[in-house]
Structures are given as structure tokens and as C-alpha cells.
Amino acid sequence: MRIGIVGLLRGLYMAEWARRIGIDVVAVCDRDSARLAAAHTDFPAARVTQDWTELLDADLDGVLLANDFDAHAPLAIAFLDRGVHVLSETAACVTEEEGRRLIDAAERSTATYSFAENYVAHPHVRLLRHAVDAGEVGPLELVEADYLHSLSPEETAELIGDPAHWRGRIAPTAYCTHSVSPVLALTGAWPVEVSAFPVGANESRPAAMVMTIRLSDGTLALTRHGFLAGEVDSHWSWVSVRGAHGLAESVRATGEHAWSIRVRQEGWAQPDGQTRVTRRSPGPYLVDGEPIDRMAEGTVAILEAFRATVERGAPPLVPVRAAVAASLVGVAGADSLAKGSQPVSVPDVSAKSE
């Protein structure tokens, strides 16, 4: 399978994993010449270009889009229209209209669209999905998901303080995709309404957000993302699922333990009346027979799923409508923020809505 990559920071990391699992990285693109040169050193046989439109005719099976967060959709649509499969970093779109054009492009294309949402495939989320799918906690009622970084004020300002960079120009609600996508994957539901609340003293540019999201199956979701002090030195993601009969949640811990989950099943919901509390750790994720770094597992899983989609027609791990729905939570959240945290409807982009 031959792929090209646009955007060479996150994109280069993914290129290295793609090569390790046997995907051919045949073209690399970045408008930044230093990043392009570094990628060329790493991938000397790959075609190099600063102009992504050159990749449209580069005989690619697939393209990985890791360019600016708020600029993925136009490229995705162009590649889909050329029959090139797309694996796109988060976000999928920045407006409802753009999201609907992306869905149309994916559905009329001979190729497919996959969202590069590695947080859906991280080890703790895989364990939680298993518990939910097995009915261990009963019908879902409340799901919480965090994507938080503990950085100093100086480090935070360095990361999001430049309005010329996408990290500085996107709405404070926009980067909710790593918390909302696991919520959508665990529930299988669609976002209906969102209220967004700023956290911290800087009201014009809050460093962290809390959002409440009503889902189509009645479940309430509470998500937090951004920069908050006190996070354990883990992988930035914590997810908790409460059902009518119990709870499953990732353990707030450091190192390897951070990928474990705790499951509590209430005694009154069990035939034998016994409360059950278990702790589960993920098994190793093997590449070439060797366990890989836990933090890379989600990334490798989405690359392997992309290959299965392109080569064997497997359904995308996170398909276009779920990608657009997660992104539109951030768009509606920005609207809510501007309206003093009033609830705002999230456009229904489920297939059922048509």
C-alpha cells in the first residue's frame, strides 16, 4: 500500500509507524522546507514537495493529512474526488457546511474517509469498550472523558499563544475531538446539544473547557479538555462510563497503570447479590512479535485499520459521519461559549437524519 503524507510533525511520527508496519511512504509534503528536509533524510526514496496538490497525481492508494487542525477538509475532499483513500487527523471540519460537503465527498467517492482518532483506540478505551459491549455496566447513563495536559503557564502560552498558528487561532472548544470521539465510540450515539463552560481566569482565551453534551440515546456526557494543573503523569486521557448497573473507568495513575480500568458491578443488579470490583490491564499490542510503546498503540491501531479499509474494504474505524459529528461539537461549543454557556444544538449528521 502506497501512501503520501501532508504535514510533517505529527505526520512524520505516523510515517515512521506506517513504515514499521509495512506501509510504503512514497511521498512527503510540507510547506516548511526544514521539516521537508528532515523527512527526506528519513525517507530518501520518497517524493518530496511543498505543494500538496502534486500528490493528487502521485499514484497513491492513500493519503495521511496531518496539516493544520482547521484546514483538513479541503484536502480531504480533493483526494476523495481523485479516488485516493484519506486518513485525516482531527478535526474533520470547521463548519457545518464544510462537514456536510466532506460527508458528500466521502459518500460519492470510490475511496474512503477515516478519522485518525487514536484516542478511540488507546488501550484503556479498548478495555472500556469491551466492558460496555459485554453489558457489564448496563445501559449507559453518564460518560466522562478528559483530554488534559498539565503545563506551566509559560508552556501553555508558548503552545496556544500565537494567533498565527492553528493552536492559537482555533476556538477553545475545537480540540474536543480526543475527548468527544471516545464518548461517541463507547455509546454509539450522536451529539444533540452542547453547553460549553470556560475554566480559569482568562475569559477571552480560556486554557481549559468543560462541556456537557446531551446524546441521542439520552446519555449525558461531560468532557474536559485543554490545560489544567494536577494531571497525573500519564497519557492525558481519562474516561469513565456509568451504566444503570455499574461503572467502568480508567485508573488515574502513572506509567503502565494509567492504561488499566476498574469495573464495579453493583450487587443489587447481580443474580447472586454480590458486588464485583475488578481491575483489568491491557494485553501487549504486538508489532513483529514485539510489544510496542503503549502511547503508540492507538496510532498503530488506526494505521492498521486504515490499511484494512484500503486493502480489504473493512469499514473505517472512525468513519466520516462520526468524525464530522465530533468536530461539530467543538463548533457548537464555540457558539455556546459566545452565548454565555447557553445550550446549543449540534447539527444531526447521522445517516438516519437523511
**Contact residues for ligand NAD (CB under 6 A)?**
6-10, 29-32, 35, 52, 66-69, 71, 89-90, 116, 118, 166
Least Cβ distance, residue 270 to ligand NAD (angstroms): 38
Helical ranges in 219-319 per DSSP H: 294-312
The nearest distance, CB 177 to ligand NAD, in angstroms, is: 8
**Are 143 and 187 spatial neighbours (Cβ–Cβ below 8 Å)?**
yes
| Nearer residue to ligand NAD within complex by CB, 225 or 242 | 225
The DSSP element (H or E) to which 124 belongs, if any, is helix 123-133
Residue 145 grid coordinates: 472523558
CB of 108 to ligand NAD, least distance (A): 24
Residue carrying C-alpha cell 443474580: 271
Least CB distance to ligand NAD at residue 66 (A): 4
| Rounded CA separation 276/296 (Å) | 32
Tell me how far, at minimum, the Cβ of 123 lies from ligand NAD, in Å: 14
Strands (E), 150-251: 191-199, 208-215, 220-227, 237-243, 246-250
Q: How far apart are CB 151 and ligand NAD at their closest, in Å?
A: 15
Q: Which of 116, 176, 160, 159 minimizes the C-alpha distance to 304?
A: 116
| Closest to ligand NAD by CB, 178 or 307 | 178
Q: Which is nearer to ligand NAD, 228 or 323 (CB)?
A: 323
Hey, how many other C-beta atoms are within 10 angstroms of the C-beta on 260? 16
Rg (CA), the chain: 20
Q: How far apart are CA 310 and CA 320, in angstroms?
A: 15
Among residues 149, 136, 141, the alpha carbon closest in space to that of 262 is found at: 136
Q: Which is nearer to ligand NAD, 9 or 222 (CB)?
A: 9
Pick between residue 19 and residue 264 the one whose CB is nearest to ligand NAD.
Answer: 19
Distance in angstroms (rounded) separating the CA atoms of residues 159 and 51: 26
The least CB distance from residue 10 to ligand NAD, in Å, is: 3
| 8-state DSSP, 150 | -
Cβ-based nearer residue to ligand NAD, 31 or 276? 31
Q: Which is nearer to ligand NAD, 74 or 343 (CB)?
A: 74
